[in-house]
Structure 1
Amino acid sequence: MTVKVDFEECLKDSPRFRADIELVQSDVSELETRLEKLVKQCQAMLDAGRVYCQNSKNFVGGLRDLVQPCSGDKTVQECLEKFSKKLTVILEAQGEVIETTQKAVKMKLQNFVKEDVRRFKDVRKEFERSSENLEGALARNAQAPRGKQHEVDEASNALLNARKAFRSEALDYVLEINVIEAKKKTDILMAMLSMMEAQAQFFQHGHQSLSELDEYRRKLTDEHTQFVLNAAREKRDMEQKHAAIKKKDVSYDDSIMDFNADAANGIAMEGYLYKRASNAFKTWSRRWFSIQKNQLVYQKKFKDQPTVVVEDLRLCTVKPSSENERRFCFEVVSPSKCCLLQADSERQQQAWISAVQNSIASAFQERREDPHSPRQRCSSVSVGSLGGGGGGGGIDPENEGCKALEVIQAIAGNRQCCDCGEPGPDWASINLGITLCIVCSGIHRSLGVHFSKVRSLTLDSWEPELIKLMCELGNTVINRIYEARIDEITIKKPHPSSPRGDKESWIKSKYVEKKFIQKLPETGRNPPLRRSSGRRNRATIQEQNVRPPLKPKPNRATLPRVTGLSPSDLVQKNNTSFHKDEDEEQEDLSGLHPGALLYRSAALQNFPVMADALAHGADVNWVNVAEESSTPLIQAVSGNALAACEFLLQNGANVNQADSNGRGPLHHATILGHTGLVCLFLKRGADYNAKDKNDKDPVTIALDNANADIVTLLRIAKMNKEMREMDGAFGQSGDETYHDIFRDFSHMASNNPEKLKRRSADPKS
C-alpha cells in the first residue's frame, strides 16, 4: 500500500505535514464531488438502458405478433421467427449488463462516497479538534508565570495531555488518509473491471448469436434479390394486363354469363341479382345468387352460410315477370313459394332463365339414371326374399338363433370352447369373435364389456352383420394371436373338467394380462396382407425390402371386398384365409406399430391382423394425421367393409369421430353411397345431424348425391327418434316400421350387397 503521509512527520507536526494533509483534504473533497456526479450519471444511464431494453422487448414482441398475419408466407414467417429469437437473446444479455453495472459500478462507488469518505471526514474533525486543543495548551503553557509554580504545573499537565490526544488523533488521521487512498484505487479499478468484463461478455455473446445466422442471412439476401427481380417482372406484367383490360368495355350490361353444369366447384351459374322480400314492405335487396347441387341459393357476404331459395329445382319452374314495374324481372315458382328476382340487363335475365331451365333438365336426367325409388327399393326388400330358402343365401330373421349357432359353429375351431375346449359351445364373445361354453362365458362377462361382450348363440337375436363378423374370425384365428407363445409358458391350458378357478386364471392371463401373445417389436409375426393383381404395380417398395409407409386412403376400386357371400361361402373363406393364392400378392406390414397396423389392415379388411393389432394395444380410434386425421373405422368405410366396421364398433370405435374435414364415418358412407354402412351406423347411434367443414350433414349430402335409399334411412331414423322422445313417457319403443326397414337393409347389406350399389357415379362433395 502506498503511504501518502508519513507517520513520523505526523508526530513532528511539521509544516510539511500540515501541507500534506491540506493537499489530501483537497483531493478527497474533489474526489467526493466527482464520484457523486458519476453515480448520478450512472443511475441515469441505467434508467435509460432499462427503458431501451423494455422498448426493444416490445419491438421484438411486435415482430413475433407479425408472424400470425404472415403465416401464409413461409419465408417471411421463418425470417421473423429466427430474428426475433436472436434479438430476444441479445436483449436478455443486455439486461444482464445493466444489472452488473448497477452492482459493480453504482453501488460500489456510492458505498465509497457514503461510507469511506464520510469516515474520513469524521476522523478529520477529531484531528482538527485535537489540533486546536494542542494550540490552546501550548499558549497557556507559554503564558504561565515563573513565580506561580501551581500554574506552571497545571499548564504543563494540560500541555502533556493535549499533546498525547493530538498525536493519537493525528496517527488515526494519517492512517485513514492512507487507507482511503488505497481504497480509492481498489474500488474504482474493481468497478471498471467488472463493468468492462460484462460489456465484453455481452458483445461476445451477441457476436456469437448473430454469427449463427450468417448462412441464413446470406441465403435470405439471395432470396430477397430474387424477390425484387420477380416483383419488378410481375409489376410490369400487371401493368401491361391492366392497360390491356382498360382498353376493353367492361360494362355490366355486356358481361358474359355461361351455364356450366359440370363445373369443377359444383356451381353451375352465379352472379348478382335483386331479390324482392316476401314481407309486407316488399323491399329489394342485392344478393349473390348461385345454382349448385340442383339448388338455387344466395348469400350476402362470402363467409355467410348460403340461404336456400329452392331446395330441389325439379319441383319448380321459371318464367319472365312482366307484371312488375321493374325491368328484367323473372320468377322462380315452387310448390311452397314464389321468388321474384331481377337481373341487371335483359341479356342477364335470359341467361339466368336458361340456367335455371338447364338445371331443372339436368336434375331430371340424373333422376332418370336412378331406376328405383326409395319406396320401391324398401318394399322389394321383403323378409321372404332374404330368407334361407332363397338363392341369396340369407338368414331368416325368425330362425336367427338356430342359423347363428349353425353358421358360427361351422367356422374352424368353433365347435369347441375357445378357452377350455368343451364341445358344443353355445355362447360367443362378439368383439373377440370366438365361441365359449357357459362357464367360460360367465368368466368373460365378469371381465367387463371393455374386454369381452358375451351373447348367447341360441337365446339372443343376431343381426346379420354380427354373424358376418363372427364368420371372419373364429377360435382358431384368435388363438393363434392370444396363445402364440403358449409353448413357451409353463401355465397349462384348462380342459373342460378343470375347476372354475383354473379357467378364470387362464382367461384373465390370456385376455387381460395378455401373457401369451407375441411380444413387440417382432418382424414377420403378422400374416401378410394380401393384395389383388390390380395392386401389383404398387409393390416395388416391397421388392426393395423397405418398410412400406402408410398409403393414401384406398378407394373402392383398389380394396378387396367380400360381397354376396352366403354363410357357407363365409365359412369356406374363413377356413382358407391363411392359404396363399397364386394370383395374389402379399403386403408385409409387420414393421408398423399397432395403431398404424390396425389402420392399414382395416383398409385391406384383414380381420386376423386387425385382431392382432388390437391384442397388442392398438387404439381403435387411432388417428392418422398424415391422411386427414382418418381413423381405422373410416378406412373400413372406404372399402365398404361392413363386417370390419362392425368389428371396430364392437371393440369401442367411436361412430362419431370425425376427420380433419369434420366428416365422421356416417358422412363418408353417405358420400360413397354405402347404404348398408349407413344403416349400420344409424343403428349404432351415429349423429345424423353432425355437419362437416362445408356445413353439410349426411341428409344434405345424400340429397346432393340423389341417393334415395340413404335419404330414406336418415329421415326414418330422425322420425323414429322424434317418435321415441314424444312417446317415451308412455313406454313406447318407437315406430316398428323403422325396425323392419332397418332389419331388411341389414340383411340385404350382409347377404345381397350388390342390390345396394349406387345407381350413378359418386358426386364430389
Structure 2
Amino acid sequence: MLHNINFFLDSLVKGDLRDIRGDLKKPFEKAWRDYESRFKQVEKEKRDLARQYGMVRSEVSGGEIAEELEKERRSFQLSMCEYLIKVNEIKTKRGVDLLQNLIKHYHCHNNFLQECVSTSHRLKQYMEELNGVLSTVKQRQDEEKKQLCALRDQLRPAVNTEQESLQRQTYSMHQLLGDKQYGTERSGFLYKKSDGLRKMWQKRKCSVHNCYLTIAHATPNKPPTRLNLLTCQVRPSVEDKKCFDLISHNRTYHFLAEDEEECVAWISVLSNSKQEALSMALDGYSRAGESQSSVEDLTRAITDDVRRMPGNSSCCDCGAPDPGWLSTNLGILTCIECSGIHREMGVHVSRIQSLSLDSLGTSDLLLARNVGNSGFNEILEANLLSPSLKPSQHSHMAERKGFILSKYQDVHFVRKSHSSAAALRLGLQEATKSCDIYSLIQMYAQRADLSQPLNTHIQEKGETALHLAVLLADRTSLHILDFLAQNCPDVDAQTSAGNTALHYSCLHNKSDCVKLLLRAHANTHTKNQLGETALDISRRLKHAGCESLLDQARSNRFDHHVHVEYEWRLRHEDLFDSDDDFEEKVRFLVPRLSAAQVSGPQQVSGPQQVSGPQQVSGPQQVSGLQQVSGLQQ
C-alpha cells in the first residue's frame, strides 16, 4: 500500500525536483559573464589598435566586433537555451506533473477505500450467514441436551435403586453379635491392608477403648486414626477366616489377625463395643427426649399440616412435587434445586431450612402455617402473563435462577395496589392492625419500608408496625410479628422515647414476642431515654420469663429454633375413618393431647368440632381436656 500510494510522490520530490534546490542560473550567468568580458576585451583591443594609427575612437560598433565574438555569442546562446529549457521543465513538474501525481495518489487512496467498503459488505453478508448457521447449531445442541437430560432422568432412578441396593448390601441393618466373654476393650497388633497401588499388609498397633478404635501409624509423630464404632460395622471375610472388614461412613478398612481365634476375638470386641455405644446413645436420647417429646410431637404435627396446605404439595417456584425446603421468613415450600437459588439471594431475601434434616422449632413454622404456596403466589405472581413463563421441575438452573430473581428481588410479577408512600404506610398500618398476613405480604412485595414510623401511635410517637404488632400480639397473631421481625430492615427501630419492640415486649410481659425478636437478632443492649435496656425493664417489673430469655441471649445460650405458644388449629381430615369409631378414637386421643401440654396450659389442636352427634364441621381448635371431654359427651 505504501509503494502504490507514495511511490509517485517520493520519486517526484526526491528525484525529479531535486535539481530545483541547485543553482540552475550558474551556467547561464557564467556564459553571460564570459561573453561580456570577451566583448570588453575585443573593444579595448580595437581602440588600442586605432590609437596606434593615430585615430581616436570614442566607441566601437557592434558590427566591427561581431565576427570576433561569434564563438562566445553562440556559447552564451546555448547556455541560455539550456537554462530556459530547464526552467520550462521545472514549471511543468511543479504544476502539471505534481497535480497528476497527486491525482494518482488520491486515485489509489480512493481505490483502497472502495476495496474496504466492498470487503466490509462481504463481511456483513458472511456474518449474517454465520449467525443463521450458529442459530441452527445452537438449536440442534439444545435439542440434544434436552434428549440427554430426559435420558438422564430416566436412568437416574434405576441407578439410584442399584446404589441403594449396593449400600444395603455393604452396610446391613442386622448387626453382628459378638461373644460377650471377650468384653468391650482390647489392645494388640493387626495387619491392615494399605490403600495404595501395592495393597500391602502393614502391621499396626490397634486398641479398642470407650467405643473407639484407635489405629496407630508407622510414623510415631503422626496422630493415630480414631474411629467411632457407633458409625461403623464389622463384617467377617468370606474368603479368609483370619480377615475381617470394618466399614465406616467413608471407607472400608481390611484387617488380618495372626490366627482364626484372634480374629474372632477382635470381631467380638468391636461388635460388643459398638453395641455398648448404641445402648449409651439410646439411653441418653431417651432421658433427654422425655422433656421435649411433646414439643417434638407438636412440631411434627404442624409440619405434616403445613405439607397438606393448598399449593404446598408442589414447589412454590417450579412446581416440583413434594417440596422439602422451607423459607422461614416467607412461609413457602420449595424443592432442593430452587432452595439453592434462594440461599444465593441471601438471608435478607429468603431463609431456607429443611423440613426433614434441620431441627425446627414451632417458631420456624409460624409463617408456613399461615401463608402457604398458593396464597403467596397469588401476590408475587399476580401479573405473570402466562404459566408457561414459569419454570418447571425439568428446567435448567439458569432458567430457574432468572425467574426466581425476577420474582423475589425485582418483584416483576406483583400487581401494584398502592401508588404513593403515604398509601403504603397506611396499608402497612391497616394490615398490622387487622392481622392480615396477605395484605402485609402485599406491602412487602411493593417494597414498603416495614420499619417506617406509622401515621398514628398508640403509646409513643414514632411507633413502627413492629411496635404495633407487639402491642396487639396474642396466640392468634404471632405470625404477623414474626413476618415483620424477619423481613423489616431495622428490628431495633426506636420510638421518640427510645423504646424498641424488644422494650415493648418486656414492658407488657410478652415472652413469645421476646423469643421472636431475639430469633430475628434484636439488640439486647439498646437503651431508651431512661437509660434502660429490655433486660433492665424485665428485672424492674419482675417479668421472669422475659428476663430468662434475655439472659440466655446475652450469654449466647439462646436457641433460635424456639417453641412458641400459639393456636395452631391443625386440620385432621384423616383422623376418623368412619363415624362408628369416632368415640373410640377420641378416647385414644385424650391422653395424647394431655401429654402435648408444654410448660403450662398449652393450646393443642385436636379433632374437628362436633355439632350434634357424629356430625363434623370445619376445623376447630381443642384446648386442654375440657373440650375433648365435650367431644366425648
> Normalising by structure 2, what TM-score?
0.40
> Normalising by structure 1, what TM-score?
0.34
Greater relative contact order (Cα < 8 A, sep 6+): 1
Structure 1 or 2, whichever has the larger Rg, is 2
